[in-house]
Amino acid sequence: MPNRPPKACGLAILQWLIVKAGAYWRLIKSLQTGLLLVTGVAGYESARCSMTAWQSFLGMMGSLFLAISGSTVLNMVLDRDLDARMYRTCWRPLPLGTVSVNEALVLGLVLSVLGGGWALALGLAYGGVVLAGWFFDVVIYTFWLKRRTPLSILFGGIAGGMPVLAGRTLGIGSIDLVGLLLALAVLLWIPTHILTFSIKYAEDYRRAGIPTFPTVYGIDITRKVITISTTAAVLTMFVAAILVGMTSGCLRLLAVFGVTLVGLAAVSMARPAPKLNFLLFKSASLYMLASMSLIAVGTRL
């Protein structure tokens, strides 16, 4: 049997690398990671850091990306059996077998070590916040509590608030009230994001054996929690925006976004419907993206 020509071998190797890189990329949940990076940028820019300090900014972006990606990959490793049972997630690389468990474990650990080490090199306070976010996400939320209690989302929310707190901490050199309020706004926003999702995919979560608010406490209580947490998140974000010195025009725009989101949550509670629930889920993500973008630019105008 004749040997394959070198050109054919090279194309086969290139194709394999592209497929593998695509599978690795799906492990980091790029949209989720991107949104968390935006919050980190908002925290950093809220400190009115000098635009000439580009080395610090790039260091923050690189270290946060690596640390967040590493924690996400490790979460995929820990949750691979759950993902295999859910229609929504069974297409992910680990359940499909396009990436082996050992590959994902090594990738997650390498990304986490590089991200955490880089963060510590930029500053002990900043690095401590980044590592705290990783610990709450991987160890407390995913490894310990996710399969035990629906209240695990509170600790997942703490992890979600760490990037914006980290960015603020790097910008001013310490943890302050504004940074904590921004992190709290993310924590309070998490139920809107997660609980609307758990309502939509309640059967999937039930099949996987994951305790969620809808399955444990019921849909009505879940919708009330969503409305209360949404209102608290919007108010906390607005207070933080005032404290960072956001311009009046941006503040008005932020208020419009917040009132719209709270209104959607209230209507969804009063007149529940699947389409409205999904609209609230999408709107929550857009609100967080828009509000953090306003935090980032509203102090520069």
In order of their start, the domains of the chain are 27-298 (1.10.357.140)
Stretch 106-118: mean pLDDT, rounded? 98
Stretch 128-146: mean pLDDT, rounded? 98
Question: Quick one: which of 216, 158, 174, 192 has its CA closest to 277?
Answer: 192
| 3-state DSSP of 143-191 | HHHCCCCCCHHHHHHHHHHHHHHHHHHHHHCCCCHHHHHHHHHHHHHHH
Q: For 200-231, what is each residue's pLDDT tens digit?
A: 999 999 999 999 999 999 999 999 999 999 99
Please state, in angstroms and as integers, the Cα–Cα distance from residue 96 to each residue in 21, 23, 31, 69, 85, following that order. Answer: 15, 10, 21, 20, 12
pLDDT recorded at residue 1: 45
pLDDT recorded at residue 216: 94
Instruction: Pinpoint the alpha helices (H) of the chain.
Output: 6-27, 30-45, 54-78, 80-85, 93-96, 101-122, 124-135, 152-172, 177-200, 202-208, 213-217, 219-243, 248-270, 274-298
Q: For 230-261, what is each residue's pLDDT tens digit?
A: 999 999 999 999 999 999 999 999 999 999 99
* Range 48-51, long-range pairs (CB < 8 A, 24+ positions): 48/171, 48/299, 48/300, 49/171
d(CA 225, CA 266): 11
Q: What is the mean pLDDT of the chain?
A: 93
Per cent of the chain over pLDDT 70 is 94
Q: For 49-108, what is each residue's pLDDT tens digit?
A: 655 578 899 999 999 999 999 999 999 999 999 999 999 999 999 999 999 999 999 999
Please state, in angstroms and as integers, the Cα–Cα distance from residue 109 to each residue in 29, 34, 74, 147, 243, following that order. Answer: 16, 20, 7, 22, 38
CB atoms within 10 A of CB 174: 12
d(CA 111, CA 83): 22
Show Cβ contacts of residue 151 under 8 Å, excluding neighbours closer than 6 positions: 145
Residue 298 above 60 pLDDT? yes
